[in-house]
Amino acid sequence: MEQVKERLQKVMAAAGVASRRECEKIILAGRVQVNGAAVTELGTRVGPRDRVMVDGKPLHRKTLRKTYLLYKPRGVVTTMKDPQGRRTVADLMAGLRQRLYPVGRLDYQTEGLLLMTNDGELAQHLTHPSHHVDKTYEVEVKGRVPEEKLDVLRLGVPLEDGLTSPAGVVYVKKWDPERNLTRFTVTIHEGRNRQVRRMCDFIGFPVKSLKRIQVGSLTLEGMKKGEFRELTPEEIASLEAQVE
């Protein structure tokens, strides 16, 4: 199997040598060797089997970073353990060796796309409010929702923890008369607790079902409830580019 290679300065920073910028200076100063050869190029990439020495000492790497996309079903708790004995996201991924943690949360009754990782730096960046990573939800509510109500969501909703940022809202089905349901998508970049549900409560149309269908460029395409897959290096790079 081909090694997954990462930039040398990134590997050094993950191992706790210094910040990424400082690691770049260390490389440029000729203080790093890879497989016995001095390296001074910042574009150098290394894999798990490459031997890295810094100032003559071997680099002790931390656990290989892994990030997975999980299709969380309803009725699953976004925690690693639940004192009430309910099924957790950890139960869904019990076959993996890595100890993973959820990036953000989806509440018990919400299904959809959830990232699981052991990459603390990536998780912190993705959940920090200063990084505007779009998250799209498919919402279903009872009744016929008029356009002016959705305009309230688009402009911002005054919740108890402050005004929400403007949301992108698009009808999926304006109204299903047989089921008396309206379906639409809401795209936000904030991560407040139960935000979409509270926004819909404010306009007088409580959520009947809620599903997160996209985070950044990641979607649930080809996946079934309860399934998970590892992100590709290209998908990781795309996420990192959004939070740099």
Residues with catalytic roles:
107
User: Who's near 48: CB < 8 A, 6+ residues apart?
Assistant: 3, 4, 61, 64
The Cα 121–Cα 155 span in angstroms is: 32
Cα–Cα distance between 146 and 175 in angstroms, integer?
Answer: 10
Q: Give 63: exposed, middle or buried? Use CB within 10 Å, 0-12, 13-18, 19+.
A: exposed
Residues 6 or more apart whose CB falls under 8 angstroms from that of 19 comprise 13
> Dihedral sign, CA of 99, 104, 108, 113?
negative
- The helix (H) or strand (E) run that includes residue 203 is none
d(CA 6, CA 80): 29
